[in-house]
Amino acid sequence: MTYPKRLKAGDVIGLVATSSPVEEERAKQSKAVLEQLGFKVKAADNLFASKGGYMAGEEELRGRWLNDMFADDEVDAIFCLRGGDGANRILDYLDLDVIRKNPKIFVGYSDVTSLHLLFNQECGLVTYHGPMVSSNMVDDFDQESKTAFFEALTAEDAYTYKAPEGFPIGVAREGKASGILVGGNLTVMCASVGTPCEIDTKGKILFIEEIGEHIGNLDRHIYQLRNAGLLKDAAGILLGQFTRCNVDVEGYDIVQVMLEATKGLDIPIMYNIQSGHGAPMITIPMGGTCVMDTEKGEITFPVEMV
């Protein structure tokens, strides 16, 4: 796996809308907040475009902008404007050779999960499950999220997940595990099953987060992964934020669902990892080696620069 070069002050950020758009004024605010953080910005021209009311223009356009940002020698890193819907539509329009030859920081989450899977599995590129510009930086880029964001994107030797105040790491099943971190949004990764971009969990640490789902739907998705053989292959599991999800019904919660779905498997499980649709939103490297140790309560990511 290839770690992209570290982020530094004054870098040029390629701002892209791979899924849904924002209003024109919001796009201006997003560009401005990056400039206030000390970056230069090259913005795609589809940030406030619309197709069907929920996608930032035609898939060919969204794919072309992502290709162009990777190919552009002036662009140092690529930040997603927001998630939403439709990123899986652009997969056929991405030039994987261009992306492989031009490894760059790529940050996003939610619907962007389909792009993390593609870039990690097909391009060997470490990407970042972290804050998006409109979604997390414009209104309230809280200090813990901001600190973790810059620590992850500038780490030289190792990056350690630091539990935010009031959000201790939970242990559902004890153990130690090491492997490449894969996953992201539960709904999106389940949509990859049966496709050429199906999530590969063999020997890997599986990270899961979600938003706005009832525990019954979460249960259905988790058992889809189980029935597809994707849980038994994992080396370990990290449960992230389940924002605005009804995850505790009469004392039966998401942790219990996961324990039952992995019954009989020697897979350590840690939960309450603050990465996903909530705040603070802690950045974690997808495709990077992850070491989880329930006894020490630690999650670390050795950084191997290429």
Following DSSP, what letter does each residue of 251-277 receive, concatenated? TEEHHHHHHHHTTT----EEE----SS
Q: Is 114 a catalytic residue?
A: no
Phi, psi of 100, deg, nearest 5? -60, -40
Amino acid at 82: R
Q: Is 275 a catalytic residue?
A: no
Using CA atoms, how far apart are residues 98 and 26, in angstroms rounded to an integer? 30
Q: Are the beta carbons of 276 and 241 closer than 8 angstroms?
A: yes
Kindly give the pairing relationship between strand 158-160 and strand 252-253.
unpaired
Catalytic residue selected from 19, 110, 134, 145? 110
Using CA atoms, how far apart are residues 134 and 115, in angstroms rounded to an integer? 18
SS3 at position 30: helix
Q: Is 74 a catalytic residue?
A: no
Q: Are the beta carbons of 70 and 98 closer than 8 angstroms?
A: yes
Following DSSP, what letter does each residue of 279-292 receive, concatenated? SS---EEETSEEEE
| CA atoms within 13 A of residue 299's CA, in its CB half-sphere | 32
Catalytic residue selected from 116, 135, 209, 221? 209
Q: Which whole-number Å values give the CA distances from 13 to 32, 35, 121, in the listed order?
A: 12, 9, 24
Active site residues: 110, 209, 277
